Chain A
Amino acid sequence: MKNTQSKEIIAKFSGSLDQFDLSVDVTLPARGVTALFGRSGCGKTTVLRCLAGLSRVDRGYLSVKGKVWQDGNYFLPTPKRPVGFVFQEASLFPHLSVDENLTFGQRRAGDRANIISRDDLVELLGLGALMNRSTHHLSGGERQRVAIGRALLSGPELLLMDEPLAALDRLSKNEIIPYLDRLFKTLDIPMIFVSHDTEEVERLADHMVIMDRGKIVSNGLLSDVLSDPALFIAEGPKTSSVIEVEVVSFSEVDKITEVRVEGGRLQIPGQLSDVGSKQRISIAANDVSLAKEQPSETTILNVLPARILDIHLLDGARCNLLLSIGHQNEDGARFLARITQRSLRKFDFAIGHNIYAQVKSVSMVGAKI
């Protein structure tokens, strides 16, 4: 294996595959959770397959944490790549038991077999009770947990997941997400997962890559990418922004949690979490309204001084505004507001203006350490 200096994941794939043109040049962090996001048919699964060596395009380059897996004619075949791959359908081997499925990769992983302890993984994924069952009698969520465990026991340096939740119903999804959350927080393995569900991405990812028609259109921290008003995902009806917060206090009297965000504070109904813990919250763009002056009489808890950083007109009557919390500078936490273009003209809002943002509701996304 050749080596390079870079400690990240550098992937360049271009060429045609089954009449689909792919042109990707992307650098991803070799830690944390990266979401590969886009509409169906945008090529995100193809990129994932190229990373695993399951598909091969004409011109490809791939290095992971300094090791070159693919360059020109050099192509490390899939069995030689230390990746774990979780497919959309669990694809458990029907002729093997749950236990044998789990050990399939581990027995072939050589000196990487014990990077993750089997007992820990069984515990993390709640597989103990499934061990002696036949794979045919598992629920969708259980099957996918076994598949994830199987991939991880092969000692991967990189875990790839192709819409691991897409084939599951809402109930199984809710069942499996806490396991994934725990897994991502506990294991120090970079993970890349493909998704077309923003909720899933908000909940699980740290880093986000957006693809459209075989190309990368955005790549960055989750909060930055989600609050880019010009991206197509900012045009949907359920557009929301994700902000990292720290719990400051909880009032026993009226059951309100106060959290600190970059540039200000927010009050959230209910007990969010322990004081001092880091959390992730989501603000729906439709739940934000703007005022020129500080509203003196309002029932809305969170009225934040903010500055307009960007304005993006949408097709139709509405527009997206990118806001930064605080009037002093533009370093505050960023989020999107969705208002009508009529209001935009009526109040003469423009980039650089200081305004007050009224946030009607804030929801908590999965807990982060």
Chain B
Amino acid sequence: MWDPIWITVKLAFITTVILLVLGTPVGWWLARSKAWWKEAVAAIVALPIVLPPTVMGFYLLIALGPDSPIGQITTEVFGRALPFTFAGLVVGSVIYSMPFVIQPIRNAFEAIGDRPLEVAATLRASRLDSFFSVALPMARPGLLTGAVLGFAHTVGEFGVILMIGGNIPGETKVLSVAIYDHVEALEWGQAHILSAGLLVFSFLVILSMMVFEKRLGRRLR
């Protein structure tokens, strides 16, 4: 019973970290760029919200599979293709949860506006300097929201994982898949425990996020 929990937490944590590192510059670019094709990029980022997870999983399976260019590279470097590995789950989760992290970050950067950055520029701060000393600290509520949503969303992932991760105990079997298996095997007790745990977890996530946001928001207003 502990294996799926541990795999799920590890997956969600790694995914969130990767998304924060990738999502911050992308969110910044989406908030500040004046490029005409920026909304096209924004749409690609948002696509996983509307795309059925099985469709995404299917394409990922093909894109990462041993016969694809990416699959050939990973086989070359790691000795195997990504589907049905934990690394494959991470790649899938990063794409699947991307909009839930990038959107709040973008919104937070947009809410800052030009003025604080102009002020920073007149106070001798270079662009990079003002990004780290003004924009990032002012966007903290958005970064936090993004991290929490990204983590929680990854924990609940099911369709994509089933498509590209299969159901390998100890490697790719996450909580939601474990619940599904328990139900299939008519192990209601186990299913109840895991489901209730996830219910409580989800409630706590949303609650703490609301409280945190309120507090941070007040400090930054």
Interface-located stretch among B49-57, B79-87, B115-123: B115-123
Is the CB–CB distance between B115 and A87 below 8 Å?
A: yes
Is the CB–CB distance between A151 and B129 below 8 Å?
A: no
Is the CB–CB distance between B221 and A94 below 8 Å?
A: yes
Q: Report A-chain residues with C-beta under 8 Å of the C-beta of B219.
A: 94-95, 136
Q: Does A104 contact B (CB under 8 A)?
A: yes
Known contacts: A87-B115, A91-B115, A108-B129. The answer to whether A154 contacts B124 by CB under 8 A is yes
Interface-located stretch among A76-84, A209-217, A314-322, A327-335: A76-84
Q: Report A-chain residues with C-beta under 8 Å of the C-beta of B121.
A: 53-54, 77-79
Is the CB–CB distance between A87 and B221 below 8 Å?
A: no
Known contacts: A108-B129, A136-B221. The answer to whether A93 contacts B116 by CB under 8 A is yes
**Secondary structure call for the B interface:** helix
Is the CB–CB distance between A95 and B123 below 8 Å?
A: no
Is the CB–CB distance between B123 and A154 below 8 Å?
A: yes
Known contacts: A94-B221, A95-B137, A136-B221. The answer to whether A108 contacts B116 by CB under 8 A is no
Q: Report B-chain residues with C-beta under 8 Å of the C-beta of A85.
A: 118-119, 122
Give the contacts of B122-163 with A (CB-CB under 8 A): 122-126, 129, 133-134, 137-138, 140
Q: Does A105 contact B (CB under 8 A)?
A: yes
CB distance from A166 to the nearest CB of B (A): 15
A105 CA to B133 CA, complexed, in Å: 12
CB distance from B123 to the nearest CB of A (A): 3
Is the CB–CB distance between B122 and A78 below 8 Å?
A: yes
Is the CB–CB distance between B138 and A108 below 8 Å?
A: no
Q: Does B220 contact A (CB under 8 A)?
A: yes
Is the CB–CB distance between B123 and A52 below 8 Å?
A: no
CB distance from A79 to the nearest CB of B (A): 5
Which 4 A-B residue pairings sit nearest by Cβ, starting from the closest? Answer: A105-B123, A85-B122, A108-B124, A78-B121
Assuming A54-B118, A79-B124, A151-B122, what are 15 further A-B pairs, CB within 8 angstroms? A52-B122, A54-B121, A79-B125, A79-B126, A79-B129, A80-B124, A83-B122, A84-B122, A85-B118, A87-B118, A91-B115, A94-B138, A94-B219, A94-B220, A95-B219
